[in-house]
């Protein structure tokens, strides 16, 4: 089955007009300039009830389609995103703050289309569990019903697609609640995707915390997917208990990277930098604390300072910039407070750490902090911004112990010229994913999930797709 979208390419203005509320709502401001980006609806619990009811009514017909038919719709949605890529990227840059270029807005929009296509391509055939000539048992996966999705403000479009793509492919309908900070991006993305889907298969309900709380506890939601803080994840677990709904939680991380003494500092410096500073550090699985062996500590610090000096930061619509502002004032204050804590402790700021007081926007400079104690707040608390603490270690055992000391474990990385040695160290780290000589490199084919208090459940790949289905055994 092949579908094509008849939608013309939107301009950013047309997208904003299409998603604007007919009355009420609130202005969304550009975190780089303070200018009004557009007006977002402030929807009510009653509107959420209506969206869930319509999604439930539409779900049986959607579920009756074959996997290949639903995949055709996902591919058509990817076509629609690609046809509107520049308008979506411009809106994302203005609302979230990330630049158009680098691993930022255009990259994120492109990833939305790629993730839809990858999810559409996965094969999910019944699995033979027993076939011994005496008995037969097969494992099938059936749609759950209606999936609720609550997303964050750091990668609002891409993470929304991570949630909705497998849910739709499995035959569920979806109700999305976007972050209050970035509702326009998600509303616009859904508007484009819905040009390729049947009516009421995908809904977005934009609003405040009351909408998220109502969604997580609603008896009409069969599964909830959430990406965000550990504290909010715990609240969702509590609110979902009465309905025993299934959960996939991708929660906070404070990812460690361990640099072994055999590393070539200059060869890995750029990848180290982007592992930490992608999206100006506002990424759950970004490198947030770096442990460097004493033999190469100075060389790694110097190489990172050199790379940081060549990464321009500024307004996202300027094609020259690759780093943008923090998305909101609250996050800016967290980063600033943690860096000041490091300074007060006697840690050495190698670069950055001095935001311009009268600069428009929430810009915090790329900051590298050396000679810092492992117990400092900048190390133990997730900064979620452009400030990287670099901790010196003497033995591998010491580095692994420090990396594993926190109660989170989303991702981690090991850096070495000896891959076999790096794999040995990686196996000792308590994290859902450990990368070697890279960090944060997610792939739609590779399952992804957290350890400890970084959440539970898997996303991506066939294993992630199965998490959006109800397992059923047929035995005969």
pLDDT at 9: 79
Mean pLDDT, rounded, of the chain: 96
Q: Are residues 245 and 295 in the same domain?
A: no
Domain edge (last residue) among 189, 220, 250: 250
Please give the average per-residue pLDDT across 120-130, as a whole number: 95
Q: How far is CA 293 from CA 131, 261, 393, 397, in A?
A: 53, 5, 5, 11
Of 393, 371, 391, give the one whose Cα is nearest residue 380.
Answer: 391
Whole-number pLDDT of residue 138: 97
d(CA 336, CA 331): 9
Same-domain status, 354 and 236: no
334 with 357, same domain: the answer is: yes
- Residue 8's pLDDT is what? 60
**What percentage of the chain reaches a pLDDT higher than 70?**
98
| Residue 215 lies inside a defined structural domain of this protein | yes
User: Can you give the CATH number for the domain in which 170 is found?
Assistant: 3.40.605.10
250 has catalytic annotation: yes
Complete DSSP assignment for 52-69 = HHHHHHHHHHHHHS-HHH
For position 244, what pLDDT does the model report?
A: 95
Output the pLDDT for position 5: 46
| Sign of CA pseudo-dihedral 451, 247, 110, 102 | negative
Q: Give the integer Cα–Cα distance in Å for 109 and 116.
A: 11
- Of the three residues 250, 272, 295, the one that is the final residue of a domain is 250
Mean pLDDT of 301-319: 98
Q: Which residue range is the domain that position 400 belongs to?
A: 255-443
Residue 3's pLDDT band, with cuts at 50, 70 and 90, is low
- 458 versus 2: the higher-pLDDT residue is 458
Q: Per DSSP, what are the bridge partners of residue 204?
A: 176
Average pLDDT over residues 219-239: 96
Residue written as token pair 């998600």: 186
Tell me which of 90, 95, 108, 284 is the catalytic residue.
284
Q: What is the mean pLDDT of residues 216-233?
A: 96
Residues ≥6 apart with Cβ < 8 Å to 12:
87, 90, 91, 94
Domain match, 389 and 293 both: yes
Q: Give the Cα separation of 281 and 360 in Å (integer).
A: 19
The whole-number pLDDT of residue 264 equals: 97
Question: In the listed set 250, 270, 303, which residue is the last one of a domain according to the structure?
Answer: 250
Question: What is the C-alpha separation between 120 and 118, in angstroms, rounded?
Answer: 5
Q: What is the pLDDT of residues 398-431, one digit of tens each?
A: 999 999 999 999 999 999 999 999 999 999 999 9
- Residue 359's pLDDT is 82
Q: Number of folded domains in the chain?
A: 2
- First-to-last alpha carbon distance for the chain, in angstroms, is 33
Whether 226 shows a pLDDT value over 80: the answer reads yes
**Digit-coded pLDDT (tens) for 441-455:** 999 999 999 999 999
pLDDT of residue 356: 86
Query: What order do you get walking across the sheet with 246-250 strand by strand?
Result: 202-204, 173-177, 146-150, 223-227, 246-250, 455-456
* DSSP code, position 264: -
d(CA 337, CA 351): 17
User: pTM of this prediction?
Assistant: 0.96
Mean pLDDT of 116-141: 96
Indicate if 305 and 323 belong to the same structural domain: yes
Among residues 82, 90, 95, 250, the one annotated as catalytic is 250
The Cα–Cα gap between 99 and 327 comes to 12
Please say whether the dihedral angle defined by the alpha carbons of residues 167, 76, 104 and 17, taken in this order, is positive or negative. Answer: negative
The verdict on residue 5 lying in a domain is no
User: Is 38 contained in some domain?
Assistant: yes
Mean pLDDT for the stretch of residues 272-284 = 98
pLDDT at 1 over 70: no
Where is pLDDT greater, at 357 or 239?
239
Residue 86 is among the residues annotated as catalytic for this protein: no
Question: Tell me: the pLDDT tens digits for 5-56?
Answer: 455 678 999 999 999 999 999 999 999 999 999 999 999 999 999 999 999 9
Q: Tell me the mean pLDDT in the region 104-127.
A: 97
344: pLDDT strictly greater than 60: yes
In a domain, 385, yes or no: yes
């Amino acid at each position: 089955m092949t579908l094509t979208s008849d939608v013309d390419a939107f301009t950013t203005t047309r997208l904003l007009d299409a998603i604007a509320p007919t009355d009420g709502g609130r202005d969304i401001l550009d975190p780089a300039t303070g200018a009004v980006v557009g007006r977002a609806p402030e929807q009510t619990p009653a509107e959420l009830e209506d969206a869930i009811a319509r999604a439930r009514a539409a779900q049986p017909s959607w579920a009756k389609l074959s996997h290949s038919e639903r995949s055709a719709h996902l591919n058509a949605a990817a076509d629609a995103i690609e046809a509107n890529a520049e308008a979506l990227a411009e809106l994302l840059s203005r609302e979230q703050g990330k630049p158009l270029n680098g691993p930022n807005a255009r990259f994120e929009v492109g990833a939305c289309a790629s993730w839809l296509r990858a999810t559409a391509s996965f094969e999910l055939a019944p699995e033979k569990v027993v076939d011994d000539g005496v008995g037969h048992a097969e494992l099938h996966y059936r749609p759950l019903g209606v999936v609720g999705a609550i997303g964050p403000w750091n990668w609002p479009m891409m993470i929304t697609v991570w949630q909705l793509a497998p849910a739709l492919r499995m035959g569920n309908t979806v109700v999305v609640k976007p972050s209050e900070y970035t509702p326009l991006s998600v509303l616009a993305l859904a508007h484009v995707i819905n040009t390729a889907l049947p009516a009421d298969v995908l809904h977005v309900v934009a609003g405040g915390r009351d909408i998220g709380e109502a969604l997580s506890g609603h008896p009409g939601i069969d599964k909830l997917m959430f990406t965000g803080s550990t504290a909010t994840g715990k609240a969702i677990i509590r609110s979902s208990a009465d309905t025993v709904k299934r959960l996939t939680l991708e929660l906070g991380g404070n990812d460690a990277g361990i640099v072994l003494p055999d590393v070539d500092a200059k060869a890995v410096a750029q990848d180290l930098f982007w592992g930490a500073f992608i999206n100006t550090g506002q990424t759950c699985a970004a490198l947030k604390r770096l442990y460097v062996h004493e033999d190469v500590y100075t060389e790694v610090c110097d190489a990172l300072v050199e790379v940081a000096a060549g990464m321009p930061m500024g307004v996202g619509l300027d094609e020259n910039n690759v780093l943008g502002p923090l998305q909101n004032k609250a996050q800016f204050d967290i980063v600033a407070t943690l860096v000041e804590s490091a300074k007060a402790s006697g840690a050495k700021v190698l670069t950055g750490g001095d935001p311009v007081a009268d600069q428009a926007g929430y810009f915090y400079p790329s900051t590298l902090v050396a000679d810092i104690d492992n117990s400092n707040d900048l190390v133990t608390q997730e900064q979620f911004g452009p400030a990287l603490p670099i901790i010196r270690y003497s033995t591998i055992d010491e580095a692994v112990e420090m990396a594993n000391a926190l109660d989170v474990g989303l991702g981690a990385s090991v850096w070495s010229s000896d891959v076999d040695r790096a794999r040995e160290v990686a196996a000792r780290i308590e994290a859902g994913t450990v990368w070697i000589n890279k960090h944060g490199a997610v792939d739609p084919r590779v399952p992804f999930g957290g350890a400890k208090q970084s959440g539970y459940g898997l996303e991506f790949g066939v294993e992630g797709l199965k998490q959006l289905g109800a397992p059923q055994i047929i035995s005969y």
